[in-house]
């Protein structure tokens, strides 16, 4: 259900941007590699990855 809501929001934003600004591109940012829901949406809308970030974990102390 949450994935469908996110997809609907992205589509609504896209339609408004095309209507108001005649835009042809958009950006999804900061999608973590284990966020399967957002990765599936990005794949569905045929997005292109142009940068990857890695989060490292280290115990302090």
Q: Which two tokens stand for residue 59?
A: 């115990």
Q: Look up tokens 């005649």; give the residue.
A: 22
Q: Which sequence spans correspond to the domains of the chain? A: 2-44
Q: Which two tokens stand for residue 54?
A: 């890695």
**What value does the mean pLDDT take over residues 3-11?**
80
Q: Yes or no: say if 8 and 20 are a contact pair by the CB < 8 Å rule.
A: no
pLDDT at position 57 over 80: yes
pLDDT at position 58 over 90: yes
Q: Look up tokens 């940068």; give the residue.
A: 51
Q: What number of helices (H) and strands (E) belong to the chain?
A: 2, 0
The pLDDT tens digits for 8-53 are 888 888 888 888 888 888 777 788 888 888 788 888 878 887 877 7
| pLDDT for the residue 60 | 92
The three-class DSSP label of residue 53 is coil
């Amino acid at each position: 259900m949450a994935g469908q809501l996110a997809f609907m929001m992205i589509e609504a934003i896209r339609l408004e941007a095309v209507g108001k600004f005649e835009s042809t591109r958009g950006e999804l940012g900061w999608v973590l590699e284990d966020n399967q829901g957002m990765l599936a949406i990005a794949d569905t809308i045929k997005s292109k990855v142009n940068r990857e970030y890695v989060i490292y974990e280290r115990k302090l102390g």
